[in-house]
């Protein structure tokens, strides 16, 4: 019902179970179950708190100290859908960043960002298929060829996106969404070939095993991207490709596309490829499966990769990309999408 992951010297706390109490004792974060202390750390040793249950109680003092120490508190439903996040209002950047972010929507900066997000999504989709294809080149040539036919068509879409022209985001959104949609259809065809029990991508509310794993993983990733966008001083609700709707953090949904495949899809497909057995309970992932998946996603986020000539954890790359968006709209520094290796 409780799991922790160490990120450098910091601890990430995940509460997934019923009856936990999260409180403050002196300068320490304490979790109790039936009156017994099951977790206790100084606040400065805690990276984030994830609450993935509706049966936990959190004291106002604990919330206050987490906010004061810059510790995000994130809330997931049993299906992994994010529904709330608490962060300090002091973590945001300058007013100028947000002003420029909003102004960029009406000029060519919004077009360039929209294209970059779409290119990142498509290239990472192709690279995830390449990653799983390379292990089948000798053992299963038919699947290898099937995947690479999809890869080639996705990479053609990248070239089409790069040629899209417009003076503001609204002028190119339709073309970008069309390319992303066509790329997604090709990508999921490849996934179906890799995972025969997968019958197509479904979002929130899906009751099958594979989509439940993906959705839960995306929920974890969502909060990482939201945290990075907020810390970069950006407005999470002012995006460029996803349309503006009440309660819809469109910039988070734009930026997360660069990371879904490399962080979550690779993790889930890798687990399934090694014979991982998914447990379900009432149409949802059971507690043991949620814990194991969350741990695997956090391990993937902690993986160090080469990015911009240096080695960073994937989690840090998310923050680098969010700061890159801020630097582009504010100072004109060229924004390049994250593209993972294969």
Q: What is the DSSP string of 1-14?
A: -EEEEEETTEEEEE
Share of the chain above pLDDT 90, in %: 61
As a whole number of angstroms, the distance between CA 303 and CA 315 comes to 8
What's the pLDDT tens digit per position in 92-117? 557 889 999 999 999 999 999 999 99
As a whole number of angstroms, the distance between CA 231 and CA 58 comes to 24
For residue 7, name the pLDDT band (cuts at 50, 70, 90).
Answer: very low
As a whole number of angstroms, the distance between CA 166 and CA 163 comes to 10
What's the pLDDT tens digit per position in 166-222? 999 999 999 999 999 999 999 999 999 999 889 889 877 777 889 999 999 999 999
pTM of the model: 0.81
Phi first, then psi: give them for residue 57, nearest 5 degrees.
-115, 135
What's the pLDDT tens digit per position in 258-308? 999 999 999 999 999 887 777 888 778 888 899 899 999 999 999 999 998
Mean pLDDT over each residue of the chain, to the nearest integer: 89
What's the pLDDT tens digit per position in 315-324? 999 999 999 9
Share of the chain above pLDDT 70, in %: 94
Sign of the Cα torsion 270, 272, 275, 280 reads: positive
Annotate 151-176 with DSSP letters as a single string: HHHHHHHHHHHHT---SSHHHHHHHH
């Amino acid at each position: 019902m409780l799991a922790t992951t160490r990120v450098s010297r910091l601890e990430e706390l995940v509460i997934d179970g019923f009856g936990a109490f999260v409180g403050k004792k002196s300068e320490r974060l304490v979790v109790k179950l039936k009156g017994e202390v099951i977790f206790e750390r100084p606040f400065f040793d805690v990276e984030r708190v994830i609450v993935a249950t509706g049966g936990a109680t959190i004291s106002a003092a604990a919330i206050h100290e987490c906010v004061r120490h810059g510790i995000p508190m994130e809330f997931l439903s049993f299906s992994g859908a994010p529904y709330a996040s608490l962060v300090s209002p002091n973590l945001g950047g300058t007013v100028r960043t947000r002003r420029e972010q909003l102004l960029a929507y009406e000029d060519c900066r919004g077009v360039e960002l929209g294209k970059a997000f779409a290119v990142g999504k498509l290239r990472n989709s192709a690279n995830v298929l390449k990653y799983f294809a390379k292990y089948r080149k000798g053992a299963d040539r038919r699947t290898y060829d099937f995947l690479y036919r999809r890869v080639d068509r996705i990479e053609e879409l990248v070239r089409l996106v790069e040629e899209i022209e417009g003076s503001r985001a609204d002028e190119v959104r339709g073309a970008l969404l069309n390319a992303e949609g066509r790329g997604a259809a090709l990508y999921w065809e490849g996934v179906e070939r890799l995972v025969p029990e997968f019958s197509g991508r479904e979002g929130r509310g899906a009751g099958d095993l594979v989509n439940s794993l993906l959705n839960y993983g995306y929920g974890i990733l969502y909060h990482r991207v939201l945290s990075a966008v907020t810390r970069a001083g950006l407005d999470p609700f002012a995006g460029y490709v996803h349309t503006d709707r009440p309660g819809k953090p469109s910039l988070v949904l734009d930026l997360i596309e660069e990371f879904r495949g490399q962080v979550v899809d690779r993790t889930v497909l890798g687990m399934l490829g090694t014979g991982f057995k998914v447990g379900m309970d009432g149409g949802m992932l059971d507690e043991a499966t949620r814990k194991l998946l969350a741990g695997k996603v956090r391990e993937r986020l902690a993986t160090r990769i080469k990015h911009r000539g240096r080695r960073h954890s994937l989690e840090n790359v998310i923050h680098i990309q969010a700061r890159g968006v801020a630097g582009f709209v504010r100072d004109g520094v060229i924004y390049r999408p994250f593209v993972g290796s294969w």
